[in-house]
């Protein structure tokens, strides 16, 4: 029987759509019916299991699934023995401490002797221990943000992305304690055959992720500006330079990292670049 890598993804929630999109961008075709428990690909040796995110680290540790996608927060909270293979760049959020808006906050010692409601007792416990603060951690599994309002706790520790849920519940964020994004985790004892499939998969994921973090740049420049412009462009190896029909002008093509993009554009224009085009890259293999 053909060896299949079993990948656990969240059945429905904030990770589901981007997880499945990543596999599609890797060229892996499958029937996406999250009504089913599992779905095999017909063009790549993987099978997807659709599960609650909380169960994924445990299933990956046990080998029920070979790989899984979860938030780092869930992976850290569950303390399972799994490999962190790769950060995936989506579902970015943080765990923060928050207290009622009207309460004055003086620093993390505010929490000494107080109670904090959270679904993340492990991450919170580690943070408080590091800060030397002793609290009563109230573990609750959902709707953490209503705890102070009903007198269950003085503060909360919960996931924040924009902060609007906190504001809607009369709370203010006072400490950011943990940064998270989606990660690919793997079982620690994959067979050689499964490792081989994993290598093919991570090769594709890397190509997709570096495509996303880079842009293809095309620009025109007078020939006497080429040297300066080329010195500003890193490129994958060296930029491509093509003569234009207009005498004395060339078109220069290269790749720029998204993070340095706006700074570079200004420098390039100052160096004489014109007609700059920025094009998204679908995949990039270095
Ligand atoms: P399940 O039903 O599978 O247990 P859940 O309700 O526990 O789902 P979700 O709310 O779907 O979980 O969140 C899944 C993960 O997505 C979180 O663990 C976190 O890593 C990330 N996440 C949560 N909220 C946000 C947000 N507002 N923005 C970005 N990422 C988030
Ligand atoms: Zn969950």
For the stretch 116-165, pLDDT in tens is 999 999 999 999 999 999 999 999 998 999 999 999 999 999 999 888 99
Would 226 be classed as within a structural domain?
yes
Are 156 and 21 found together in one domain? no
Query: What spacing in Å lies between the alpha carbon of 208 and ligand 1's midpoint?
Result: 23
CATH number at residue 255: 3.30.70.120
Query: Which ligand 1 atom minimizes the distance to the CA of 91?
Result: 30
Query: What spacing in Å lies between the alpha carbon of 157 and ligand 1's midpoint?
Result: 14
Would 199 be classed as within a structural domain?
no
Q: Quick check: helix, strand or coil at residue 268?
A: helix
Are 64 and 186 found together in one domain? yes
Are 272 and 144 found together in one domain? no
Which structure tokens are listed for 188?
Answer: 């620690």
Which of 229, 228, 221, 271 has the alpha carbon at shortest distance from 246?
221
Are 148 and 163 found together in one domain? yes
**Residue 39 β-bridge partners:** 48
Query: What spacing in Å lies between the alpha carbon of 180 and ligand 2's midpoint?
Result: 14
Are 186 and 82 found together in one domain? yes
Are 114 and 138 found together in one domain? yes
Are 122 and 82 found together in one domain? no
Are 107 and 77 found together in one domain? no
- Report the mean per-residue pLDDT for the chain: 95
C-alpha count within 13 angstroms, C-beta hemisphere, residue 4: 17
Residue 204 has pLDDT above 80, yes or no: yes
Look at the chain and report how many structural domains it folds into: 3
Are 10 and 82 found together in one domain? yes
| Ligand nearest to the Cα of 74, by number | 1
CATH number at residue 34: 3.40.190.10
Would 143 be classed as within a structural domain?
yes
Are 112 and 171 found together in one domain? yes
Tell me if 34 sits within 8 A of 9, measured CB to CB.
no
Q: pTM of this prediction?
A: 0.91
Supply the range of the domain harboring residue 43: 5-90+182-190
Residue 77 has pLDDT above 90, yes or no: yes
Tell me if 205 sits within 8 A of 22, measured CB to CB.
yes
> Between β-strands 182-186 and 67-71, what pairing exists: parallel, antiparallel or unpaired?
antiparallel
Are 83 and 97 found together in one domain? no
pLDDT at 286: 80
Would 206 be classed as within a structural domain?
no
Would 259 be classed as within a structural domain?
yes
- Residue to mutate (ligand 1; options 18, 143, 159; most atoms within 8 A of CB): 159
- Protein residues with CB under 6 Å of any ligand 1 atom: 10, 13-15, 52-54, 71, 73-74, 91-93, 159, 161, 180
Confidence of residue 33 (pLDDT cuts 50, 70, 90): confident
User: What share of the chain in percent tops pLDDT 90?
Assistant: 88
């Amino acid at each position: 029987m053909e060896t299949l890598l079993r990948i656990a993804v969240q059945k429905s929630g904030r990770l589901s759509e981007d997880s499945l999109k990543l596999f599609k961008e890797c060229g892996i075709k499958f029937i996406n019916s999250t009504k089913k428990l599992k779905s095999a690909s017909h063009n790549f040796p993987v099978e997807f299991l659709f599960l609650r995110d909380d169960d994924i680290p445990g299933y990956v540790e046990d080998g029920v699934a070979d790989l899984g996608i979860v938030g780092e927060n869930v992976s850290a909270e569950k303390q399972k023995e799994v490999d962190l293979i790769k950060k995936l760049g989506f579902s970015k959020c943080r765990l923060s401490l928050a207290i009622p808006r009207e309460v004055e906050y003086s620093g993390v010692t505010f929490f000494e002797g107080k109670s904090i409601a959270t679904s993340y007792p492990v991450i919170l416990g580690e943070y408080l221990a590091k800060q030397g603060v002793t609290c009563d951690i109230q573990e609750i599994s959902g709707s953490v943000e209503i705890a102070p309002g009903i007198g269950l706790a003085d503060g909360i520790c919960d996931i924040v992305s924009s902060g609007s849920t906190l504001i809607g519940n009369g709370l203010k964020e006072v400490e950011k304690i943990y940064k998270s994004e989606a990660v690919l985790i793997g079982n620690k004892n994959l067979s050689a055959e499964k490792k081989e499939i994993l290598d093919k998969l991570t090769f594709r994921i890397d190509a997709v992720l570096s495509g996303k973090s880079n842009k293809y740049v095309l620009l025109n420049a007078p020939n006497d500006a080429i040297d300066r412009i080329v010195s500003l462009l890193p490129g994958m190896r060296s930029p491509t330079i093509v003569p234009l029909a207009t005498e004395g002008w060339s078109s220069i093509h290269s790749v720029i990292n998204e993070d340095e993009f706006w700074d570079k554009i200004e420098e390039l224009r100052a160096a004489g670049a014109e007609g700059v085009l920025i094009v998204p890259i679908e995949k990039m293999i270095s």
